[in-house]
Amino acid sequence: MAGGLVKYRHLSRDSSARKALLRGLVTQLVQYEHIQTTHAKAKEAQRLAEKLITLAKKNNEPCRRSAQGILYTPHILLPKLFGELRNRYLTREGGYTRVTRTEPKNTYDQAESSILEFVDGPKDSRFMMTAKTIARDRLLGREPTALTMQNAKKVTQFRGQKDLDDMVERFVALQAGESPVTADYTADEGHSKEAAEMADRESAKVKGLMGDGAPESTKKLIDLKR
């Protein structure tokens, strides 16, 4: 909270402008599932986003009308809200969004910046970071730390272990420079050229990080694939 007797952040706006701002942020969140803004705006938009998912889980006519009044483009986003997002969080009792602090988005004002995202979604940053950490440990031939295993348990609680294993394999393929898997992974996104360049850079970084402590099999694999 903002502190004192104020129960919410004013965001330097009057009531109508504040509501319009939060509606816009939540509309973008439902559309992209991952937005970056100032920390204060992210925390306030998080409250409205949590309420929106609760309305979607109830799935009755009054809740549909309330959700329609929140979103700026309900004719586009209501099917996603009451379909994909509702089914994703149907068994979760809360905590549908996550706010993660990041570096300031603007280099001039240095305002506190954060990422607001839906958990267990295709752009879940903690899920991707956990998978990348496990892939790095696997390439370096060492066991994951206790913190990594704890994060893996959290991100797979509602999403499942298979999704994490698939993403780990993709990161291993990218970092090891395996072109067939890389091509399959990036074919749907239409960025095969950029992904191939990224794979070359990542494999060079991994080879530099491994030094003399990596297994010979891993070194030979990278040398053969490059």
Instruction: Write down the pTM of the prediction.
Output: 0.71
pLDDT, greater one: 108 or 116: 116
Check: CB of residue 122 under 8 Å from CB of residue 155: no
42-62 pLDDT per residue, tens: 999 999 999 999 999 999 999
Q: How confident is the model at residue 160 (pLDDT cuts 50, 70, 90)?
A: confident
64-84 pLDDT per residue, tens: 999 999 999 999 999 999 999
Buried b (16+ CB within 10 A) or exposed e, 140-168: eeeebeeebeebbeebbeebeeebbeebb
For residue 163 the two structure tokens come to 């999704």
- pLDDT (0 to 100) of residue 88: 92
Give CA separation, 216 vs 37, 178, 212, 222, in Å. Answer: 45, 17, 9, 10
Beta strands 113-118 and 97-102 are antiparallel
